[in-house]
Structure 1
Amino acid sequence: MSKHSQFHIKRGDLVEVTKGDDAGKTGKVLQILAKQNRAVVEGLNQIKKHLRKTQDNPKGGIVEKEAPIAIANLKLKEAGVAEKRLKKVKDAKK
């Protein structure tokens, strides 16, 4: 992987999952994990995290949170954003 990897999605984009349990569902990208080639999408790929009892959290318990999804399994859903990006690249070449 090159030092300056470029992905087809960015933080804040609306994406659709193409493979896995959440296939066909859409959500907003919250975070890009470039070194792992993964992205965290709002409301998708939920996992249950078990929390230990601590002074800050005396009850402990189970919390649901989003886990990262491979970027290869995501498709850009919001067409307007993709067209704007493509237009910028074409204009830059002129």
Structure 2
Amino acid sequence: EAGMGWKAAEKLIRHWKILRGDNVMIIRGKDKGESGLIKRVIRSQNRVIVEGKNLVKKHIKQGEGQTGGIFSIEAPLHVSNVQVIDPVTG
């Protein structure tokens, strides 16, 4: 019983470590070593979107009021792939 509670608490803490607007360094993947700002946090998936990073090409069909074409959008990164940069120590 006690073990279960501990596990749940650990999971919650990991969720809250990264907030929108945080400056993070990408530590895995194709943009490894680059830093950027958190644009969105997807808590349910433990994923974050970093502004201008981990871009993927997406085809968008032309529809009402929008032009079609190929756009680059940010794909979500798993939180374990990013690290918050300490503003003090960098």
TM-score by length of structure 2 reads 0.77
Q: Deviations over 1:53-89 (max 9, x none)?
A: 21222x4111111110000111111334xxxxxxxxx
- Partner secondary structure for residue 12 of structure 2: coil
* RMSD after superposition: 1.9
The residue that corresponds to 1:9 in the other structure is 18
- After superposition, residues 37-76 of structure 1 pair within 5 angstroms as 37-57=46-66, 59-76=67-84
Measured in 2, the distance between the counterparts of 1:2 and 1:67 equals: 27
The residue that corresponds to 1:24 in the other structure is 33
Q: How many residues align?
A: 79
Which consecutive unaligned segments of at least 5 residues does structure 2 have? Answer: 1-6
TM-score by length of structure 1 reads 0.74
